[in-house]
Amino acid sequence: MSTTQNKKIEIIKSATSKINEVDFENLSFGAVFTDHLFECDFKNGEWQTPTIKPYAPFLVDPSTRVFHYGQAIFEGMKAYKDDQDAIWLFRPDENYNRFNKSAVRMAMPEVPEDIFMNGLKELLKIDQAWVKKGNGNSMYIRPFMIGTGTGVIANPSDNYKFMIILSPVKSYYAGEVKVIVAEHYSRAANGGIGAAKAAGNYAGQFYPTNLANKEGFQQVIWTDDATHTKLEEAGTMNVFFRINDTLFTAPTSERILDGVTRKSLIELAKKEKINVEVRSVLVDELVEAANNGSLKEIFGAGTAAVISPIVGFSYKDHYYELPKLENSMAADLKLKLTNIQNKLAEDTFGWTVKV
């Protein structure tokens, strides 16, 4: 793990604010950004002075490594404002640790904890008016790092830029989600980068997802690359299956991203005395459960939507529709988790961290 550096953040405030131009009731996800960003460059083997400055485009050389060799990683997390106007993060240490795991896998430098955490907290304080309270409001936080060295030489970059940008969001609703179970394409492979939050994992998903869209499905349920028999993730979310009253989700692996929402839901469900089994569910089991009526729910889990219910799945050109339930575990767990995140319910897990 990286050492701390305790460098003072240089702050350059924006002369004006865009906040009055924003319609906070009609935000589309990840489209609007706050007045400031956090930035820290890595040069000559060292992290430079961390800076908070006005949000703005920046110039880079066309030969910048990230464009050619794809060293790019990111995180996605949220901050919430409670009724007393305090701002809270949800398990930020998990995102920090995962960011550095991704960095190591992509041969990028680890970001020191104080740069990541202090940068994030200071940025949230400076743009605190943008964090709205109540009714599904939150601040989506996007830390990311790119290789900024120049030259079309297929080596790891020598320079990097770490940034954090903030985007106010409303609760995310993906509409009715129907999925296709992948029979050919893969999101990740053993020995690959599937466990890293690497930009390239997303690029690789777009084409098979487009094909699914053309057939009327919103997302792909990814299966293991070797046999396509094990269910692994849904789109860019971890995936849960409810068969009778047991929740199943695959164990994390080199192919499956270790989601903070996933692990929180597992703990929350256990506390609610729901039977949870962390094991791979086979496509055959899913089809059988759908056929005999024991398959009750499928849902994706991730920071953006928290829980995204799936209404049906297609496999080998057959569509299986899920029942519409009165008492859905997805809805119940989502409410319980968002209540903790929004400080509307007691956080007995110690997950929330005050900014």
Which of 106, 120, 177, 260 touches ligand PLP (CB under 6 A)? Answer: 260
Tokens of 311: 């209404």
**Which part of the chain contacts ligand PLP (CB under 6 A), choosing from 47-55, 177-185, 295-303, 314-322?**
295-303
Binding part of the chain for ligand PLP, among 51-59, 160-168, 169-177, 260-268 by CB under 6 A, reads 260-268
In the complex, the smallest distance separating the C-beta of residue 233 from ligand PLP, rounded to whole angstroms, is 5
User: Which of positions 296-335 make contact with ligand PLP (CB under 6 A)?
Assistant: 301-303
Q: Which is nearer to ligand PLP, 92 or 259 (CB)?
A: 259
Q: Which of 308, 110, 68, 98 is nearest to 200 (CA)?
A: 68
Residue 34 neighbours by CB under 8 Å, 6+ apart: 19, 55, 127, 130, 139, 165, 166, 167, 168
Q: Which residue has the tokens 């575990």?
A: 329
Which residues, at least 6 apart from 233, have a Cβ–Cβ distance to it below 8 Å?
A: 187, 221, 222, 239, 250, 256, 257
Using CB under 6 A, pick the residue from 110, 225, 233, 285 that binds ligand PLP.
233
Minimum CB distance to ligand PLP smaller for 55 or for 202: 202
- Candidate list 120, 237, 268, 295; residue touching ligand PLP; CB under 6 A: 237
* CB of 94 closer than 8 Å to CB of 260: yes
Distances (CA, A) of 124 to 36, 37, 97, 98, 131: 9, 10, 20, 21, 8
CB of 165 to ligand PLP, least distance (A): 16
**Residues binding ligand PLP: what is the number (CB under 6 A)?**
14
| Least gap, CB of 274 to ligand PLP (angstroms) | 18
| Cβ-Cβ contacts under 8 Å for 246 (sequence gap 6 or more) | 274, 275, 276, 277
Question: How far is it, in rounded angstroms, from Cα 139 to Cα 166?
Answer: 7
H-only helix segments in 186-314: 199-214, 260-271, 283-292
Interface with ligand PLP includes 238 (CB under 6 A)? yes
Q: Which is nearer to ligand PLP, 81 or 262 (CB)?
A: 262
With CB under 6 A as the contact rule, the residue among 223, 236, 341, 352 that binds ligand PLP is 236
CB-wise, 220 or 290, nearer to ligand PLP? 220
Interface with ligand PLP (CB under 6 A), residue from 259, 290, 297, 308: 259
Nearer CB in complex with ligand PLP: 197/242: 197
**DSSP class of residue 72?**
E
Q: Nearest distance from residue 214's CB to ligand PLP, in Å?
A: 22
Cα distances (Å, whole numbers) of residue 163 to 33, 35, 78, 142, 336: 13, 14, 16, 8, 32
DSSP string, 128-195: GGGS-BSTT-EEEEEEEEEE---SS-SS--S-EEEEEEEEEEPPP---SEEEEE-SS--S--TTSSTT
Encoded one letter per residue, x for contact with ligand PLP by CB under 6 A and - for no contact, window 22-51 reads ------------------------------
Using CB under 6 A as the binding rule, the residues of this chain from 149 to 208 that contact ligand PLP are 197
Print the binding letters for residues 46-85 with ligand PLP: x by CB under 6 A, - otherwise.
------------------------------x---------
- Residue 99 identity: F
Could you tell me which stretch among 10-18, 152-160, 253-261, 338-346 binds ligand PLP (CB under 6 A)?
Answer: 253-261
Query: Closest distance between ligand PLP and the C-beta of residue 53, in Å?
Result: 27
The C-alpha atoms of residue 245 and residue 145 are separated, in whole angstroms, by 41
Point out which residues bind ligand PLP (CB under 6 A): 76, 197, 233, 236-238, 257, 259-262, 301-303
